[in-house]
Amino acid sequence: MRITLHDYVTDPLLTQKDGVNLAHENIATLLRGVGKEQLLVRFHDFNRILTDQGYALDVLSNTDCVVSNVGPHAHYYFYLRERFDLDFRILRDVRTAIWSSYLLQEHLCRPYLRDGDVLMVASHYTRAIYEKLFPHLRSGNTVRCYPLTVEFPAELPARMQASYFTLGYIGRLSEDKNFSDIVDLLVMMNKSQPGHYKLLACGDIHSTSCHPDAVRALILDELGEGDYFEYLPPRANGHVWELYRRFDAMLFPSTSNLETLGRVLVEASYAGVPVVCGDHAAAAELMPSSSLCRVSYFTRKTFSAHFDHLLGRVDLDDMAKALSGDDLRPADCHLEYMAHAQKFTDLLSDMAMNRKLVPEQLTLTDSQQRFVESLHATLPDALDKETVDALMADLMPWISGLQARGTQIRKQYLDWLVSMSKHPARTEGYISTSAQTNADLTCVGGIDIELCHVIGFYPEFFLADSLP
């Protein structure tokens, strides 16, 4: 039972690892520790797979299963399997929901899919979104699995108590994560109980409106002087647990189109921290009803899947009631996900042995069902294999060229990218960010989105009026 995957290590120059980075790292860590009596694991270099035919043949012709552990780029493995006429199975994943690059992956993979290939998702919600947008995925080869607990600490730091009620937030300080709702809630709660609540936020600053200086200015204007807000820059995931132990409750009001799970929800569950969140995406299947707050969605508004968006607003009165209610309690969703490491290795064993996958039941809450039914996306028509072969032949030199750091080749591809981009400001942002890193596949939200320009892939979506 031979397994191969990219030796994924996040670029240390990235300021913060998001859930996608951590998911790929968790899988690599898990498979490094698997005994040879279970699976024979070989790590490879994805970029070399794309540029060195001899190396690609050596790796791919001597495996039973490839784990696509490189972000939304599984289609390259599918293309190479066809090109070299090989017979391995491919496990690919979806780590972001309504997002151009993962939509592109599924669009290009479709004509290459075989019975033994599997799509891995983190939640029922994610599976429902992709089966809505790509009906051919309803055939049953989708598994909900996320072995994220493999690097959770065996023991948690001691609980830290304060004289005030600490509202915690971990993640990007961004508009699509509804961070402004948290600030508004903080102000509202302190006007009701002066000086009782403090917000402790840790994460990368993603939106100008969410910059700590802007937050402090707003709080000062609304509440006057006081110890209401503390910002901490991003920190390694292994060092977030002491933050969880400082929280009396964690806030997660995100209505982002990117959400597939909410890793911090599972982490909070493990740390024993109650959560107050919007009834959006996977939160509805992870959190008790006492944690969930109503969301008012923006309907009939067209969004580009090239960007992150807040899709609605969370009811602040619901959040305030949840925080002060007697029913607020920690979730226990981490218990199921602690079993996913074994579920993952069992899945790989089944794929390597070419055993047929037993379809899993799709279970949605009422709010998730309504959201999925209301979702409408503009996607290109399905492509035949010959057309995708030609597109992939065009993409192969691009993904390699854009990662050829410090070369004239990369400069040429960047110039071409700028000339064809329909979102030049975003492209310039990608170029600026990648110049500060190793410009590799760990630049999530970078190269994957930019490659959409090469083949003119620009999906849009909206939510219908029927959504309550």
Please write the tens of the pLDDT for every residue from 325-344. 899 999 999 999 999 999 99
State pLDDT tens for residues 62-97. Answer: 999 999 999 999 999 999 999 999 999 999 999 999
Rounded distance between C-alpha atoms, residue 463 and residue 468, angstroms: 11
Rounded distance between C-alpha atoms, residue 226 and residue 263, angstroms: 32
Percent of the chain with pLDDT over 90: 83
Residue with the bigger pLDDT between 459 and 47: it is 459
pLDDT of the residue at 132: 97
Domain membership of residue 201 (yes or no) is yes
pLDDT of the residue at 1: 85
Domain membership of residue 100 (yes or no) is no
Q: Print the SS3 string covering 216-228.
A: HHHHHHHHCCCCC
Rounded distance between C-alpha atoms, residue 399 and residue 73, angstroms: 10
| Dihedral sign computed on CA atoms, order 101, 124, 8, 110 | negative
Given a cut of 70, whether residue 439 has pLDDT beyond it is no
Residue 84: DSSP 8-state? T
**Amino acid (one-letter) located at 422:** K
State pLDDT tens for residues 6-48. Answer: 988 877 777 667 788 889 989 999 999 887 677 999 999 999 9
Instruction: Tell me which residue range forms the domain holding 215.
Output: 165-333
Q: How far is CA 305 from the centre of its chain?
A: 14
pLDDT of the residue at 33: 87
**Token pair for 354:** 């070419």
**Amino acid (one-letter) located at 454:** V
Q: Residue 257 sits in a domain of what CATH number?
A: 3.40.50.2000
pLDDT of the residue at 8: 87
- Bridge partner list, 293: 278
Rounded distance between C-alpha atoms, residue 189 and residue 383, angstroms: 53
pLDDT of the residue at 434: 83
Q: Print the SS3 string covering 98-140.
A: CCHHHHHHHHHHHHHCCCCCEEEECCHHHHHHHHHHCHHHHHC
Domain membership of residue 236 (yes or no) is yes
Measured from the Cβ of residue 218, the count of other Cβ atoms closer than 10 Å reads 17
pLDDT of the residue at 17: 72
Domain membership of residue 186 (yes or no) is yes
Provide the domain count of the chain: 1
Domain membership of residue 190 (yes or no) is yes
pLDDT of the residue at 9: 81
Rounded distance between C-alpha atoms, residue 293 and residue 290, angstroms: 8
CB 359 within 8 A of CB 140: yes
**Token pair for 224:** 């006057």
State pLDDT tens for residues 132-154. Answer: 999 999 988 999 999 999 999 99
CB 133 within 8 A of CB 380: no
pLDDT of the residue at 444: 46
Q: Give the Å distances, CA to CA, from 23 to 126, 147, 149, 262, 360.
A: 15, 8, 10, 12, 21
Residue-averaged pLDDT of the chain: 93
Task: Give the chain's largest Cα–Cα span.
Answer: 69
Q: What is the dihedral of CA 303, 96, 101, 50, to 10 degrees?
A: 170
Strands 65-67 and 40-44: unpaired
Lowest-confidence segment of 38-42, 115-119, 168-172, 178-182 by average pLDDT: 38-42
Residue with the bigger pLDDT between 12 and 410: it is 410
Measured from the Cβ of residue 334, the count of other Cβ atoms closer than 10 Å reads 20
- Bridge partner list, 132: none
State pLDDT tens for residues 252-283. Answer: 999 999 999 999 999 999 999 999 999 999 99
Domain membership of residue 322 (yes or no) is yes
Domain membership of residue 221 (yes or no) is yes
pLDDT of the residue at 11: 75
Domain membership of residue 376 (yes or no) is no
**Token pair for 335:** 């218990």
